Every structure is written in structure tokens, then in C-alpha cells.
Amino acid sequence: MRKVAIAGVGHTPFTFAADKSSVELFAEAAMDAITESGIAAKEVQAINVGNVLGDFSEGQAMIQSYIADEIGAFNAPATRFEGACASASLAIRDAFMWVASGFYDIVLAGGVETSAKMGTPLATRTFAMAHDAHYEYPVGLTFPGFFAMLANLYTAKYDVPLDRLKHQMAQVSVQAHKYGVYNKYAQFHKEISVEDVLKGFMVCSPLQLLDCCPFSDGAAAMIICSEDVAKKLTRTPVYITGVGQASSGKLSAQKDYAPRIRAREVSVKQAYDMAGIGPKDVDICELHDCFSIASIIAAESLGFADYGKGGELWETGECDRGGRIPINMSGGLKSKGHPIGATGASQVVDIVHQMRGEVEPERQVEGIKIGLTDTLGGDGVLCNMVLEKGW
């Protein structure tokens, strides 16, 4: 395989209901990535777009074709990727494989969503379709309910008292908002306290309002290219050195592993093995914190803590800036926001900015060489990527 690099990135602000369409939002992020990399749009050989609910939010199918037209890459093959929250990560992984194989030299990849403009009832209902349509969705299961079940299973399996778990989850949210304040792309720019979380509206026990991420509108994109091309385009390439993807299936298929999500362990091992690293080598991580319990579960499966001990990372500050493994210095999904089809690309873009030293000083992590992204889609589609500084 050829070495694969990211030569340019783009990111729109993540917001409540956006005035722009999904095509316009993605085009904005894409043109920033194209301009930063110094290429012309007509040089893009393929376009991969993560998008989940465009059919419902805007009545627009075939979004990828209209994006190609909008940015001036008229003849480039364009493909839409749907993997719930992991959609953009799947788009990037496929772009990586196309370039690594030598089939393409330059691919534009990323994602976009305008779920916030749908309003909470419709967005919640349509997004719940990512559950099993025969047994889970018809009985009213939504993702707050899914992660609330995992939280309750967590307390039982690992003998963690519920009050302590709720306090740990609150600390997850507090840290996310602590750094989201400084992220110019973030949806929320307000710090919160543990007390704010614990006194919040109960969404689905034990998850309270500030344990949950919002629906958001926004886009993120990047130019993925071969090493030879990257050396001509940028002095600061970031290499994708490992990727992984796995699927868990419906909840009943995961009963032997829950509250762990087995696909994550399979996927991240693929990424670690390809990159030739282990969890101790990771300097920074953007993980999928759609709900605060999701952060704790993910941190364990990624190898940053023993099972049942993930919450201690937030209690002790080990995952804070300056700690052993800084997690979600972007503010994560809970503070930066969660435009479903764009989230995986946003994670990658933020680590690229971190490696270049381009983020706000209050959230910059020094000495980064290796970063990891972790994106969960639906009941258990996982995609992980290892990024390495290339200069």
C-alpha cells in the first residue's frame, strides 16, 4: 500500500438550525480544504460524502451529485456513505483505501448534516431508524434509551454504585464543555458544573439533559492524497497510518458483551495493528461521546482504562489537557455538537489542527505525534483511525 496523507481540511461552525442547505454547507468545508491544499476542484478524482438524514431534513436524495456540481468537480465520481454517526468516518476510510491502493491520487472526503433544522421530534424519530427495524425501533427505542440501558448494565456488571457513575458522567460533560468554550466551531460556548448536570432534566434514567449531545447542523471535509502528491502540496502533512471498521448487529446479538460494544474492540485493534502501535502510544483522542456513558465505555475498549474503571480517567484528570491521554479537546459531541453525517470528519479535522498547532491556546495539546479517532454508528458500526504527524 502507498502512504496516505491529509493535505487540506475544512470545517464549518456547528450550529442550531442552519440557514444553508447541506450542499452549501459541505461545499463551504470542501472549498476550504481544496484551497488549503492548493489544488483546483477539477483535480479531485473522487468525492465521498457522509450523510444520514438528508432525505428527511431537506427531501434531498443524491446529495453527493449536487455537491460535485456545486464545487466544480463535475465529472468526479461521487458517493454517499450512510453509517449513522460513523458515516463520515466510513467515507474517509474508503478514501484512504482508494488512495492507498493506487486507484486514485486525490480524494475529497467528509460529511454533512442538517438534522437540527428538522426539530427534535422528527430528528429523534428518524435517527432511531438506525436501530433494528423489526424488534427495536417499533417498541420505541431511541438512542437516549439505548445508552441509558448501557449505563444501568454498567453499574450492575462492574459493581459501580449508580451515584458514583452519575458523578463520573457529569465530569465527562463538564470537561467537554470546558474545551468547547474555546472551539470556534463549537455549538455551545458555555462552561457547566457537576451540579448543573446532576440537577438537569431527566431524559432517560440515569441520563440527564447535559449527559446528552445535541442535534446539530454543519460539515467537515478534507483532501486525502498519496504521499507523493502531499509532498508537493503541503509542508505539514498528517498521515493516516491505521484504519479499522467492524459491526456488532442488533442489541440481542451483543448480549454477551454489553455494556461493551464488541465492534469497537475489533475495529480499534485493526487500526492499532495497521499503524504498528498500541493504546499507550496515543497522544490525543477524539472519541464518540454522544452520551457521557458512551465516553466511559469507549475509553475502556480503546485500551485507555481497565473495564469498570473508565470513569476514573475523568475523576483523576488523566484524560484532561496535560494528562496521560487527552480526550475530546474539541469539546466532543456534547459541546462542539453532533451533525450526524459530519461528526467523524470533524474528529479528524480537529486532530489535524492539533498536530499543526493551529487550535486555540486554551485547548492546544503539546508534543502530539499520534492521534486516534473513534466513531460509533447506530447499534454498533465502529470506525477507528490512527493519525500520525508527518514532519
Q: How distant, in Å, are the alpha carbons of 153, 182, 298 from that of 206? A: 11, 29, 18
* pLDDT the model gives residue 140: 86
Q: Mean per-residue pLDDT for 53-73? A: 95
pLDDT of residue 229: 97
Please provide the average confidence, as pLDDT, over all residues in the chain: 96
Known active-site residue 338: yes
Q: Where do the structural domains in the chain lie, given as residue ranges?
A: 4-120+215-238, 141-213+240-389
CATH annotation of 4-120+215-238 = 3.40.47.10
Percent composition of the chain: helix, strand, coil (DSSP 3-state, to 5)? 45, 20, 35
Q: Is the pLDDT of residue 391 over 80?
A: no
Res 353: pLDDT? 98
Instruction: Give yes or no for residue 196 having a pLDDT over 90.
Output: yes
Question: Matching CATH topology for 4-120+215-238 and 141-213+240-389?
Answer: yes
Give the pLDDT confidence of 1-27 residue by residue, as tens digits. Answer: 999 999 999 999 999 999 999 999 999
CATH number of 141-213+240-389: 3.40.47.10
CA quadruple 130, 132, 135, 137: dihedral, nearest 10: 10
Is 285 a residue of the active site?
no
Active-site option among 85, 204, 225, 319:
85
- Active site residue: 11, 177, 288, 338, which one? 338
Show Cβ contacts of residue 388 under 8 Å, excluding neighbours closer than 6 positions.
238, 239, 241, 275, 369, 370, 371
In this prediction, residues 304-310 reach a mean pLDDT of 98
CA 248 to chain centre: 18
- Look up cell 449536487; give the residue: 66
pLDDT computed for residue 251 by the predictor: 84
Q: How many Å is the maximal CA-CA distance in the chain? A: 58
Burial class (CB in 10 A: 0-12, 13-18, 19+), 138: exposed
213 pLDDT exceeds 90? yes
Q: Does the reported pTM lie above 0.95? A: yes
| Residue percentage of the chain with pLDDT more than 70 | 100
Burial of 98 (0-12, 13-18, 19+ CB in 10 A): buried
pLDDT, tens digit, for every residue of 178-188? Answer: 999 999 999 99
Confidence of residue 250 (pLDDT cuts 50, 70, 90): confident
Say what the pLDDT of residue 350 is. 98
Specify which residues 5 forms β-bridges with: 225, 239
CA distance 185 to 284: 19
